[in-house]
Amino acid sequence: MCDFMDVEIETIPIDVIKRNLDIISTRIFDACKKVNRDPKEITFVAVIKNQSNETIKNLFNLGVREFGENRYQQLEAHQKYFETNNIDFNQEITWNFIGQIQSNKITKIANRSQVIQSVDNLNILNVLGKRTDHKKIYIQLAGINDQTRGGVSFENAEELIKSAEKLNIVLSGVMIVPPFEKDPRPYFNKAREFAKKHNLDEISMGMTSDFEIAIECGATTIRVGSAIFKPNNYAL
């Protein structure tokens, strides 16, 4: 199989990214204003799936410091590129892993991520519980009945919370991806109430198509990808 990093990937010009980031910033501001929230409450994670290293450099140079990856191979490849080219990005970037976690990649993912948003089973918690370094860990709640997307049911998430306590793991929050074809509000609201019930401060929800709704429903983190990189008003 051809690896993603073996394929030449188009670099998105910095002016395109800047324009789209400005549009996204306005969308965040307007969504926060609608529900009397401070935009500074919102953590913006740039999802860099299938983007080139030069595109990531452009994002960095425009001030973005939170990056999200959903495949370990891409996460590792990006970081190694910066390391071998003496680009000291990694110390300033917060790397969020947001993809489904394979059991044989748990330790590797933890070695290269400060935030792990997609914990959805006890096996992952058991591995993370043996580490001495501090990671921000989110439970991924199942908003979609699709095993390829990951996530744990709200009922089973209750058991994961108890397991984390027994392992002395301090959870930071929850993450959810609602079904694309449905109104996301019920899923966002349920995730918010779950986080509140368990005193979890961070709520990661909302992507390009629905992050305004997520902000209205209480998101503290949004994960935006395509709106950053598409040309000509795609982010509107």
Please state the pTM of the whole predicted model: 0.92
If we measure between CA atoms, which residue out of 59, 31, 35, 62 comes closest to residue 222? 31
Return per-residue pLDDT of the chain as tens, 236 residues: 445 454 578 899 999 999 999 999 999 999 999 999 999 999 999 999 999 999 999 999 999 999 999 999 999 999 998 888 877 777 789 999 999 999 899 999 999 999 999 999 999 999 999 988 889 999 999 976 655 567 999 999 999 999 999 999 999 999 999 988 889 999 999 999 999 999 999 999 999 999 999 999 999 999 999 999 988 644 44
- Nearest 5°: the CA angle 211, 213, 18 is 30
Amino acid at 136: K
pLDDT for res 1: 42
Cα–Cα distances in angstroms (integers) from residue 187 to residues 121, 177, 202, in the given order: 20, 8, 16
Supply 112's token pair: 């290269």
**What's the residue count for the chain?**
236
Tracing tokens 């595109």 back to the chain, one arrives at: 55
Which amino acid, one-letter code, is at 155?
A: E
> Residue 138: which residues within 8 A CB-CB, separation 6 or more?
115, 116, 117, 118, 119, 171, 172, 173, 174, 175, 202, 204
Span between the terminal Cα atoms of the chain, in Å: 36
**For residue 39, what is the DSSP state?**
G
- Predicted local distance difference test score (pLDDT) of residue 145: 62
How far is residue 174's CA from residue 203's CA, in Å, rounded to a whole number?
5
What amino acid occupies position 69? E
Q: What pLDDT does 119 receive?
A: 97
**Type of residue numbered 21:** L
Transcribe 160-172 into DSSP letters. HHHHHHHTT----
CA angle, residues 222, 178, 220, in degrees to nearest 5: 25
Nearest-angstrom CA–CA distance, 196 and 141: 14
Domain 9-226 grouped into CATH 3.20.20.10: yes
